[in-house]
Homo-oligomer: A and B are copies of this chain.
Amino acid sequence: MSLPHAILTALLEKPSSGLELTRRFDKSIGYFWSATHQQIYRELGRLESGGLIRTLPSEQPARGQRKSYEVLPAGREELARWTAASQDPRPMRDTLLLRMRAAAVVGTEGIEADLRRHLDLHRRQLAEYEEIEKRDFPPGKDSSQDRLRHLVLRAGIDLETFWTRWLTHALEEFPDLPGPGTA
């Protein structure tokens, strides 16, 4: 039950319309809590009827027009409550690790290409994060807010680093192919 809180956080950072939110989820927030535009619109409706957010009064759009939302005090309180509340870590669920385990039983036939593909994806993601770090957190930006946000980004960077290393290591289990190296 975190999507509403992800949206509240995003809206507190900056009031937005559904589409803007969707875009921001594709970028920063979505890096650790992804959501589709359908989810977002549905949840905006719920949050509004729950009295946690409201449409910005300035604009009064018709159907198909953009509609911007802002967080009401009740919404901020709910977010603060949720943030402080103790929560258990959700059990991990990783398909790739599961497939590796299955491969130990039914054979590695065919999995290697996908490992390479994942390695590539994680490398790209890592590069993107590092780009963001360079841009948004130059040395010196040191407010409490910045430090916390930087910390979150560091988690992303370190996780992607872990995956690229692990995949590289895993691929060393598949030396038997035509290609450069080993000779």
Contacts and interface: CB of A to CB of B under 8 A. Distances in A.
A97 B169 contact: no
Given A86-B113, A113-B86, A32 B108 contact: no
Contacts of A6: 98
Interface string A91-124: 1111111111111111111110110011001100
Interface residues of A, number: 69
A66 B34 CA distance: 41
A116 to B, nearest CB: 11
B155 A166 contact: yes
B13 A149 contact: no
Contact of A102 (B82, B103, B105, B162): B82
Interface of A: 2, 5-6, 8-9, 12-13, 29-34, 76, 79-80, 82-87, 89-111, 113-114, 117-118, 121-122, 144-145, 147-149, 151-152, 154-156, 158-159, 162, 165-166, 169-170, 173
A119 to B, nearest CB: 11
Contacts of A8: 102
A105 B12 contact: yes
A151 to B, nearest CB: 6
Contacts of A104: 144-145, 148-149, 152
Nearest to A112: B84
